[in-house]
Structure 1
C-alpha cells in the first residue's frame, strides 16, 4: 500500500491498440498496466491512471496530487498526419516559390511508376500565396517585405477558413526579419491563429525540407495544442499539481507549452520512449550495442543503439512529407499483432501493412473482427494462451481465429489451417528481418554485432526467430517490455536540439565566429528549457554537418571537446571521425579531398533525477517451481510439447532451455529450440541463440 506523502512519476504511452502506463515511486518500485486506447486519447489516459492507482492501493483522485511529473508519449500528431486529419493550412512564402512544396526536390518514391499519385495536399495550391520580398544568401535585403500584400494574403486565408498559417521565406534562417514582421501582421489580423515560422521550426538551408517541415508543423500543431490543453485540464480537475511533459522525437521530453509551438517534434513521440528505455536497459545489463525492436498492435519499430547512443537522422519521411528535424532513427513497417493476412490479385500470401487495430481488432478478440491477423496466428500455433492474454484480463477465441485463417487464407490456397498459420508467421518474421537489414547491413553494420532488445506486447513472441534469421547471438526481453515506451518516458531527460546553417570550407574556418554561433545556439536551447523545475544539471553536445566538396548530402559528426571553446585540434579530430564514418557508410574515404561544413548543431540536455530499476542477487538455476503446465507449440520443425513458465515466479538466476514459453502479464516470451534463457538481476530475460551466425 502506498503512503500519502510519496511522490510518484508517471510514464504514459498511447499506442494504436493499447495505452501503456508505468508508475514509478521514490523507492524504485514500478507498477505497470495497459488499457485499450480510445478515440479521445485523454479518456484512455485517465482510465489507465485510475487502473494503475488501484495497483498501488490508491484511487485516481488520491494518486494524482502525489504525482510530481507526467511524461506522455502521444500519437496525436502522428495520426493527424498519417490519416490526413490535420487542420486547414495556409502558406505564405516568397513570391514565385509557392510550388516548392509540390516540386519536392524532384523526389519520387517509385521512380519508374508513371501512375504514382502525388502526395495528399495538406496545403493545397490555392492556399499557398507568394508575397513580394527577397533576402539573398548573405542576408542582404533585395526586395523589402510588402506588408500590404501580406495583410491581403492573411485576410484571404482567414476568409478561406484556415486554422493555421505557415510562413517560409527564402534565406529567412539567415535574416528572419520578414518572417517576424509577418507574424505580427497575422496576429493583428487574426489573433489566436496558429503560426508556424520556418526560421523557428528549421533554420537550415534547403528550401523544400524547410517548407515541408514548417507546413507539417502548422498542419498538426493545433491538434497537439488542443489535445495537450484538454488533457492538462482533465488532470488538473482530478488534483494533479505537478508538471506535464511530452515526449519528443529526439528522445527527450519538453514542457507542454513548448511542445505546442514545436508540434512537429512529437511525430515519433511514442516509439522514442522505447529507444530511451533500451539504452538504459543495455547499460544495466552490460550490452552497449543494441537493436531495439518494438512490436505492438499496428507496427514494428526498429532502431540501432551504438555504444549506448541511439542513432539520429535528419532525413525522415512521414506520410510522404519530409521532416528534417533531428529525430531518433526509427524504421517502421506495418507488422504488428493486428497486421492482416490477405491474398493479393496474383494469388500470393501477404501480411500487412493494414491493421485491424483495437476495434474491431483480431478475430480472436471477439470484437467483430473477421480477418486473420498475426495475433490470431500466434494463438493458433500455441504461442499465446487464450486464457492468459493481458494476464487473463482478456479471453481469446481460438475457434474464431482458426475460422478467419481458414476462410481468408487456407481455403483460397488449398492448404490446412496450421500450414496457413505457419506460412503467415514465417512471412511476418521475414518481413521484420528484411526491415532490420535496412538499418544494419545497408548502413555498413553487421547485425551479429548487436544484441536484440525485444519489446512491445508481441515482440518477445518473434524475437527468438528474428535472432535465428539475423544470426544474432543474444536477445534481451526487458521485464517491462510490454510497456517499454512508457518506461522510457519515466527516465527521459529534457532535450532541445537547435541548428543553424553555416557554410564554410574547413581549411579556412573562422573559429572565433564558430564559437560565437555555438554560444547563440546554446542560449536559444536553454531558453526553450526554461520554466521547468525538474532538472539537476545540463549537458551540452555539439556536432557538425560535414561533406566532401561537391557532395550533395552530408554526415552529422559529433564535435568532441572537453571545453566550451572549439579549437583547431577539435576540428581536426572531427574531420578524422568524418572520414571514418564516410568509409563505414559508403565504403569510401578521401582524406586529401576538401571537407565542407554546412550546419552547426547543438543539443542541450536537462538531466533529471530518475528512479532506475533495482537489481537483485542471483539464486539457484532450477526454474521448475515456476512451471505452469506443458502445451503443444508449433515450431519450424513441427509441433513440440513445450514447458510453460509463470513469469511472476521466475527469479534472478533461473535458467531455462528451449523450447519453452514464459507467460508474463502483457507478453509471452518464446524460447525456441536450441536456445536458452537466463533471468538477470533486473528481471530481464536474456536469451542466447545456439544458431547465431557470429559472436556478440
Structure 2
C-alpha cells in the first residue's frame, strides 16, 4: 500500500449479519477495501475483528486506521434480535386510566384473521406491569383531568419493585399536547434516574392509539439492549484509537448519531437490510437503472425491496415479531430463505425449507463446524453452483462430502430419491419461496415486476437470481461488484436523516396552509436539533410529505409535497392532491377525483447530504472473456449434469461477455449464469445479466 494511501482518511461501513460481519472501507482517492469476518454473539467483538482485518489489507496499524477515520456507520441487528428472540428489558407501561389493555385489544383483529390456531402474541408488558394513571386530555389537547403526580410516583415505585428496567409512557392525545408525558419523565428521573424512559410523544407523535402504544412499548423493550451495546461498542472503538463519529443505520434509509439511536431503538429494527437498499439506489443511479427490485440473500434471511425512480419505497404498515411498529421504514419484506436455511421433512412427509437457520455456528454441514442438517449452502455445493475450494475467495474451505451426507441422510433417504434429486428439489422450493417474496413487494403493491431490474446482493443472491428473473418475467439481473458486502457499502454511502411526524387532521378543501407551514417549520427545527452539529454533511435537504386518504377510509398513503420553496402553497397542494389520486389508483385500482380527501399527518425528512462515494468508470476491454476462464465443472441446472465453464470474476474486465451456462466466481459470491442468459461486465465492474424470456412466462402473462 502506497504511503499516500496509508495516510488517507478512511470511512468505514459495517454491517453485522447472522453469519458474517461485513466491512467496507473507502478513502477520498476512491480506493475500496472489503472484508468479511464471522459474526460473534457480542457484535462489537466481530466488528473489531473486521476492523483489524481491514487494517491488515490496507497495510497499516489498526490504531492508525481508526485515528484517521472520521466516520463509522454501523448497520446492526441488536434491536431486531432483541425483539425477535424476546430477550429485551422488563418493561412497565403508564397509560391513561382505563386504557391499559389497549395493547391487547390491538386493532380489533388478528394478523391472520382466518387462523383459529393463531395464539396471542408474546406479552412484552404483562398486565400486572401496566398501570392506568388518572389524567385526560381532549382531542384538542386541553386538560380535562389533571395529571395525578402522586399516582405516577406510586405506580413507578411498584414497577421498580417488580424489577422493571424500562418504562413506556403513552397517554391519550399526547401527540397534540405532550405536557403530561414530559412531566412524568421529570418525576421518574427525580427518583429513579437510571430507569430508561420512552415517551410516545417523542417516539411516535401521531394519531392512532394502538400504533402509538405498540411502537412505544417496542422502543422501551429494545432500548436498554441497544444503548448498552452502543455504549460498549463506542468505548471499545475509543480504546482502539477511534477519534471520529459513530453513526447507526436507520430503518428509513438514513443514519443517525449513537445518542439518538440509543434513545429511539425502534427506528433501528431494519438497520441491517436498510443499508443494502440504500446502496442499490446509489448503484442504480450510476448504472442507469432507476427502477429496481433488490434481493439480499445472506446466511439467515432473504430481504426484498422496491426502488422506484431511485427512491426506495417506504411504509408505516410494519408488523415485527407480531408487534405494530408504525415508524416510517423502508418497505423491506423478509423471509427465512438464506444460505443457512435448513431443509426438513414435516410430519406429513412433505419437503420444507426454512425458516429455521443454521446461522454461523455451527453453520451449514459443509462448514465442518459440527452442523449436520442440510442447508441451501450445502445444496448449492452438491449441485455444483459453489466451488468448495473458492468460498470467500478461498479464505474458507467447504466440505462437499459433508454436504452430500447431510442431504442424503435427512432428505434423500427418507424420501427414497437420489442425493442430487433431493438437492434439486430443495433448490426449486427455495427459488419458489423467494419468487413469492418478490411478488409480495411488487404485485401486491401495484408494481409490475417486469418493469424493474433485479439487483442481487448478499453472499448467495447471485446464485438464485436468474431463476427468480425467469419466474417473474424480469429482463435484467444486476450483480454489483461489491454484492457480498452490499449492506456495508450502503452504510458508508448513506446520508444523515431524521424523520419528524405530526398529526394535522384536516380536509384538503379546508386546510390551513399557514398552520401547515408553521408545523413544518417546527418539525424542521426539531430535526436539526436531533442531527446536532455534525460536520460530515455537505449540505441539507428538506423533504415534506402528507399522509392522505379519501374521507371515510381507514388507511392512508404518503404523498411527497411538490414544493421547491420552504412554503406549501395552494398550487403545491393542488399538485399533491393529483398525485394522491394517481397513487391511490395504482395501489388499489380505484380513484375518485370528486371524492373529498383529508390530510391525517405531516411528515418531514431532514437529510444531511454527504459527499458521494467515488466510483470511476473503466473503459471496455473487448468482449472475449477467455483469459478469465479457469476451467469447467459439472453443474446441475435441470436435474442432470452439464459441463459448465468457470470464470474468475476478478479477471473479467469491463466489456467482457459471458454466455450461459457459466459460473463466475468472485470473492464472497458466486454468479450463476443460467442456460440462455448472457452476462456483461459493465464500466463499474457490475455483472449485468440479460435473461432469456420464455413465451407465457412472467406476471400477468
Give the structure 2 partner of residue 481 of structure 1. Answer: 483
State the distance in 2 between where 1:60 and 1:264 align: 32
Does 2:144 align with 1:138? Answer: no
CA distance in 1, matches of 2:407, 2:640: 19
The count of residues paired between Structure 1 and Structure 2 equals 695
**Residue equivalent to 2:164:** 162
Residue from 324, 341, 350 that aligns with 1:348: 350
2:192 matched residue in structure 1 = 190
**Aligned partners of 1:393 and 1:409: how far apart in 2?**
29
State the partner residue of 1:20: 22
Q: Displacement of 1:639 after TM fit? A: 1.7
1:435 — aligned with what? 437
Taking the TM superposition and a 5 Å limit, the aligned residue runs for 1:441-460 are 441-460=443-462
2:79 to 54, 77, 80: 77
- Give the drift of 1:61: 1.9
2:609 paired residue number: 607
The answer to whether the 8 A contact 1:73-1:270 is kept is yes
User: What is the Cα deviation at residue 52 of structure 1?
Assistant: 1.1
Q: Would you say the 8 A contact 1:217–1:264 is kept in 2?
A: yes
- The aligned residue for residue 225 of structure 2 is 223
Equivalent in 550, 553, 558 of residue 551 of structure 1: 553
Which position in structure 2 is the counterpart of 1:570? Answer: 572
Distance 2:548 2:311 in 1: 20
Structure 2 Cα separation of the partners of residues 80 and 549 of structure 1: 39
CA RMSD of aligned residues (A): 1.0
Are 2:257 and 1:255 equivalent residues in the alignment?
Answer: yes
1:423 aligns with 2:425: yes
Q: 1:244, 1:255 within 8 Å by CA — same for their partners in 2?
A: yes
Gaps of 5+ in 1: none
Match of 1:323 among 322, 325, 328: 325
Q: How does 1:170-209 map to 2 (within 5 A)?
A: 170-209=172-211
Conserved? CA contact 1:384–1:668, under 8 Å: yes
Using the size of structure 2 for normalisation, the TM-score is 0.98
Contact 1:88 1:219 in 2 (8 A): yes
Give the whole-Å Cα distance in 2 for the aligned partners of 1:585 and 1:257: 37
Match of 1:410 in 2: 412
Farther off after superposition, 108-117 or 612-621: 108-117
The corresponding residue for 2:509 is 507
5+ residue gaps, structure 2, are none
Deviation of residue 345 (structure 1)?
1.1
Which residue of the partner structure matches residue 581 of structure 1? 583
| Equivalent in the alignment of 1:266 | 268
- Separation (CA, whole Å) in 2 of partners of 1:632 and 1:145: 74
Contact 1:255/1:532, CA 8 A, preserved across alignment: no
* 1-structure distance, mates of 2:197, 2:614: 40
1:68 paired residue among 67, 70, 79 = 70
What's 2:128 paired with?
126
How far apart, in 1, do the equivalents of 2:165 and 2:528 lie? 30
1:115 deviates by 2.6
CA distance in 2, matches of 1:186, 1:637: 66
CA apart distance, 1:227: 0.6
Report the equivalent of 1:105. Answer: 107
* Cα distance in 1, alignment partners of residues 62 and 599 from structure 2: 53
Post-superposition shift, 1:110?
2.3
How far did 1:2 drift? 4.9
2-side partners of 1:592 and 1:140: how far apart?
A: 35
Q: Tell me how far 1:159 sits from its aligned partner.
A: 0.9
Q: Deviations over 1:609-647 (max 9, x none)?
A: 132322111111110000011001000263211110011
Deviations 1:499-545 (A, max 9, x none): 11110011111111111111111111111111321111100100101
The DSSP-based 3-state class of the residue aligned with 1:557 is strand
Q: Which residue of structure 2 aligns with residue 635 of structure 1?
A: 637
- Give me the TM-score of the superposition, normalised by structure 1: 0.99
Deviation at 1:192, TM superposition (A): 2.1
- Measure, in 1, the Cα distance between the counterparts of 2:91 and 2:615: 45
The answer (yes or no) to whether the contact 1:473–1:694 under 8 Å persists in 2 is no
CA–CA distance in structure 2, aligned partners of residues 612 and 296 of structure 1: 26
Alignment of 1:31-46 (within 5 A): 31-46=33-48
Q: Are the counterparts in 1 of residues 421 and 639 from structure 2 also a CA contact under 8 Å?
A: no
Contact map agreement 2:659 2:677 (CA 8 A) in 1: yes
CA contact (8 A) 2:103 2:210 kept: yes
Whether the 8 Å contact between 2:293 and 2:453 is mirrored in structure 1 is yes
**Superposition deviation, residue 694 in structure 1:** 7.5
Q: Distance in 1 between matches of 2:95 and 2:496?
A: 33
Aligned to 2:653: 651
Residues 651-683 of structure 1, C-alpha deviations (whole Å, 9 max, x = no match): 111110000011111000000000000001111
Given that 1:88 and 1:123 are in contact with CA atoms closer than 8 Å, whether structure 2 keeps it comes out as yes
Partner residue of 1:661 out of 660, 663, 678 = 663
Q: Deviations over 1:590-612 (max 9, x none)?
A: 10000011000000000111323
Q: Does 1:623 align with 2:625?
A: yes
Q: CA deviation at 1:25?
A: 1.1
- Asked if the contact 2:420/2:639 (under 8 Å) is kept, the reply is no
Is the contact made by 2:28 and 2:614 (CA closer than 8 Å) also made in structure 1? no
Segments of 4+ in structure 1 off by > 6 A? none
Measured in 2, the distance between the counterparts of 1:454 and 1:182 equals 48
SS at match of 2:30: coil
Matching of residue 525 in structure 1 with residue 531 in structure 2? no
SS of residue paired to 1:648: coil
Q: Contact (CA 8 Å) 1:245, 1:255: kept in 2 or not?
A: yes
Work out whether residues 249 and 491 of structure 2, in 8 Å CA contact, stay in contact via their aligned partners in 1: yes
Distance 1:530 1:362 in 2: 45
Q: Does 1:676 align with 2:642?
A: no
